[in-house]
Amino acid sequence: MSRRLAAALALALPLSASAQTVHRFPPEGPQDHRTEPFDAGVVGPADSEQTAREYVLADDWHTLPPINYIPPPYAAQALEGIRLCLDPGHGGDADRRGYKRGSTGFRESVMNLTVARYVREFLEASGAEVVMTREDDTDPEGGSLEYRGRLADRENCDLFISLHHNATSRGDANYLSIWYHARPDSPLANVDLARHLALSMNDLMRHAEPHHMGLYSDWLMYPPDPEEGHPDVLRMDTVATRPSGFGVLRHARVPAVLVEGSFYTNRDEELRLMDREYLRREAWGVYMGIVNYLWAGIPAITLHPDQPGTVTGPRPTIRLSLDDGMHEGWARNAPPRIQRQTLTLYIDDERCDTRYIPSRAELQVTPRADLAPGEHGVRLRVLNAWGNWSWPREVRFTVE
Ligand SMILES: [Zn+2]
Which domains are present in the chain? 18-295 (3.40.630.40), 300-399 (2.60.40.10)
Residues 214-238 have a mean pLDDT of: 67
Give the distance (Å) from ligand 1 centre to CA of residue 259.
9
Q: What is the pLDDT of residue 35?
A: 39
Give the distance (Å) from ligand 1 centre to CA of residue 375.
40
Instruction: Give the rounded distance of the alpha carbon of 15 from its chain centre.
Output: 32
Q: What is the pLDDT of residue 353?
A: 97
Distance CA(35)–CA(152), nearest Å, equals 34
Please give the share of the chain, as a percent, with pLDDT higher than 70: 79
Residue 259's pLDDT band (boundaries 50, 70, 90)? very high
Give the distance (Å) from ligand 1 centre to CA of residue 165.
5
State the CB neighbour count (10 A cutoff) for residue 21. 5
Q: What is the pLDDT of residue 252?
A: 83
Give the distance (Å) from ligand 1 centre to CA of residue 394.
32
Give the distance (Å) from ligand 1 centre to CA of residue 113.
11
Distance CA(192)–CA(199), nearest Å, equals 11
pLDDT at 10 over 60: no
CA distances for 230 relative to 82, 153, 182, angstroms? 29, 22, 9
Give the distance (Å) from ligand 1 centre to CA of residue 358.
46
pLDDT at 326 over 80: yes
Q: What is the pLDDT of residue 347?
A: 95
Give the distance (Å) from ligand 1 centre to CA of residue 162.
9
Q: Who contacts 324 (Cβ-Cβ below 8 Å, separation ≥6)?
A: 297, 299, 336, 337, 338, 384, 385
Q: What is the pLDDT of residue 161?
A: 97
Element (H, E) at 256: strand 256-263
CB 299 within 8 A of CB 388: yes
Give the distance (Å) from ligand 1 centre to CA of residue 283.
16
Closest to 320 in 3D by CA, of 253, 397, 376, 249: 397
Give the distance (Å) from ligand 1 centre to CA of residue 336.
41
Q: What is the ipTM of this complex?
A: 0.99
Element (H, E) at 150: helix 145-154
Give the distance (Å) from ligand 1 centre to CA of residue 33.
23
State the CB neighbour count (10 A cutoff) for residue 20. 8
CA distances for 82 relative to 86, 172, 182, 266, angstroms? 13, 38, 23, 35
Give the distance (Å) from ligand 1 centre to CA of residue 134.
14
